[in-house]
Amino acid sequence: MMLNVAETCGATRALGPGLRAAVWVQGCPFRCRGCLAPDWIPDRPARHVDIADLAGELLADPDVEGFTFSGGEPMAQPGALAALIRAARRRRPLSLVCFTGHRIEELRGRPGPEELLREVDVLIDGRYVDARNDDRGLRGSANQRIHHLTGRLRDFPFDDGPRTAEIRLRGDEALMVGVPPKAVAAAWHALGEELS
């Protein structure tokens, strides 16, 4: 099974508790104003990667204890993402945090999304609303909700903890990882506009 991936990060502390590997999928139907990753919105081929190969890549760091899925829109590729976390969990126990622009009520009862929801420990749902960015927690804006679908990760302050962002340099490209404070996001957007 293949996954259309916009980007990955093998080890971060900016997207949930502990050391996590992150996957951002390509393609999103929402086009939220102020999106931090506008290049990942178009539903186009990006990096097509085999699930087993990607699991191995994301588990290269032996200290990784969880995955975070974002995008793009993870619920556009739920079956492949569910297969990815299952493949990785055969190698070690991992928690899973997943962001989606859909409300959980829209996802329940739909076969693909339900398959992924069965694997998720914490779901952060709802579209990003730039005007409601309150600079708090791991959610992007105050309308987004935190759903603890299992008992794991209950002690992490998803909704009101401090925001962090990491800048990863890869050759002549930079990747921002995390849900950045508003000032960092504004500087990131300004830099992008200056360079384009």
- Phi, psi at 105, each rounded to 5°: -65, -30
Q: What is the CA radius of gyration of the chain?
A: 16
CATH number at residue 133: 3.20.20
- Of 7-16, 39-48, 117-126, 180-189, the least confident: 180-189
Confidence at residue 48, expressed as pLDDT on a 0 to 100 scale: 97
Cα(94)–Cα(64) distance, rounded to whole angstroms?
A: 8
pLDDT tens-digit series, residues 31-53: 999 888 899 999 999 999 999 99
Whether the per-residue pLDDT at 193 is higher than 80: the answer is no
Q: Which two tokens stand for residue 11?
A: 């080890």
Which residues does 112 contact at the CB level (< 8 Å), separation at least 6?
75, 78, 79
pLDDT tens-digit series, residues 54-96: 999 999 999 999 999 999 999 999 999 999 999 999 999 999 9
The model carries a pTM of 0.94
Instruction: Please give the average per-residue pLDDT across 3-12, as a whole number.
Output: 97
Cα(9)–Cα(11) distance, rounded to whole angstroms?
A: 6
Whether the per-residue pLDDT at 132 is higher than 90: the answer is yes
Q: Specify whether the CB–CB gap between 48 and 2 falls below 8 A.
A: yes
Instruction: Please give the average per-residue pLDDT across 157-177, as a whole number.
Output: 90
Residue appearing with tokens 């139907």: 29
Residues shown for the chain: 196
- Phi, psi at 43, each rounded to 5°: -85, 85
Residue appearing with tokens 């928690």: 95
Number of domains in the chain: 1
> Domain residues for 165?
2-195
Residue of 174, 143, 162, 125 lying closest to 13 (CA atoms): 162
Residue appearing with tokens 């959610």: 139
Whether the per-residue pLDDT at 196 is higher than 70: the answer is no
Cα(189)–Cα(11) distance, rounded to whole angstroms?
A: 24
